[in-house]
């Protein structure tokens, strides 16, 4: 029987790890939250939907006889990561976080780093008037009191309600630098709000903002739960080969 591994997914890295680990002989199950209607499916089994908190996840892990868990969720998905930490600790199950490295500022970047969306919103007045907002659906309400700013809100799926003055841009990454340059020019964007996501898929907007000389309000990453982490898919696979037996 191949060692069974649960990958908490929703990221390109999770999908890549599933592909490599399945090819290496592991029995892979990838879990999605179910927020994206048609996620790109990795090889191996796929399950969709929440587990019902840390207790539900613990129960699921116990019943499914997993040898290890890789938390490959997005760095801002703090709830599921905390629940995975608790569930694995309760079972004594091996857990590894696969966390893509954060972007590093380069010469010409005009980053304003802030703690959260509330601080980002407070920073915008006086800084920019036409803002590309790439912070996710649930964060939009934090910007509702930013008057005099036109927001270009980029999301994968439409929100139930658009709480901001401006335009919705529905699109799913990866986004090339050329496309991002064109987008900033088309809408005459003079400010960007982004999470410190790291990785290549959404870095194009950071490059395009640097070239355009516009400020980027960058929301710092939340703290990851305690535990081991790796920064690359290759390192996660190496860990699996030792830990998941």
Residue ranges in contact with ligand NAP by CB under 6 A: 8-11, 31-33, 35, 50-53, 56-57, 73-74, 76-80, 83, 136
Nearer to ligand NAP, 40 or 241 (CB): 40
Report the nearest approach of ligand NAP to the CB of residue 106 (Å): 23
Report the nearest approach of ligand NAP to the CB of residue 35 (Å): 5
Nearer to ligand NAP, 8 or 189 (CB): 8
Report the nearest approach of ligand NAP to the CB of residue 131 (Å): 18
Question: Using an 8 Å Cβ cutoff, are 95 and 71 in contact?
Answer: yes
Nearer to ligand NAP, 10 or 27 (CB): 10
Report the nearest approach of ligand NAP to the CB of residue 135 (Å): 8
Nearer to ligand NAP, 50 or 102 (CB): 50
Interior CA angle at 173 toward 170 and 177, to 5°?
Answer: 105
Nearer to ligand NAP, 50 or 227 (CB): 50
Q: Give the span between the Cα atoms of 69 and 57, in whole angstroms.
A: 11
Q: What residues are paired with 67 via a beta bridge? A: none
Positive or negative CA dihedral for 72, 77, 81, 84?
A: negative
For residue 242 the two structure tokens come to 């030792």
Q: 39-67 b/e with 16+ CB inside 10 Å = b?
A: beebebebeeeebeebeebbebbeeeebb
Interior CA angle at 57 toward 53 and 63, to 5°?
Answer: 150
Neighbour count for residue 28 (Cβ, 10 Å): 27
Report the nearest approach of ligand NAP to the CB of residue 78 (Å): 5
In the bound complex, which residue of the shown chain has the CB atom lying closest to ligand NAP? 50
């Amino acid at each position: 029987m191949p060692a069974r591994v649960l990958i908490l997914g929703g990221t390109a890295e999770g999908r890549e790890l599933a592909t490599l680990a399945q090819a290496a002989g592991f029995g892979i199950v990838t879990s999605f939250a179910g927020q994206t209607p048609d996620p790109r499916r990795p090889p191996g089994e796929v399950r969709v939907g929440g587990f019902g908190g840390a207790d539900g996840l613990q129960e699921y892990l116990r019943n499914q006889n997993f040898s290890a868990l890789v938390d490959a969720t997005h760095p801002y998905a703090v709830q599921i990561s905390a629940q995975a930490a608790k569930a694995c600790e309760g079972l004594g199950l091996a857990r590894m976080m696969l966390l893509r490295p954060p972007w590093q500022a380069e010469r010409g970047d005009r980053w304003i780093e802030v703690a959260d969306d509330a601080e980002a919103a407070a920073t915008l007045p006086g800084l920019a008037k036409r803002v590309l907002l790439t912070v996710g659906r649930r964060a939009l309400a934090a910007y509702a009191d930013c008057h005099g700013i036109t927001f270009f809100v980029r999301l994968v799926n439409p929100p139930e309600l658009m709480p901001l003055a401006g335009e919705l841009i529905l699109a799913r990454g990866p986004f090339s630098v050329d496309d991002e340059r064109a987008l900033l020019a088309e809408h005459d964007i003079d400010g960007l709000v982004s999470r410190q996501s790291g990785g290549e898929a959404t870095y194009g907007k950071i490059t395009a903002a640097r070239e355009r000389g516009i400020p980027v309000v960058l929301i710092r990453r939340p703290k990851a739960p305690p535990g081991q982490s790796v920064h690359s898919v290759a390192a996660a696979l190496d860990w699996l080969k030792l830990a998941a037996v």
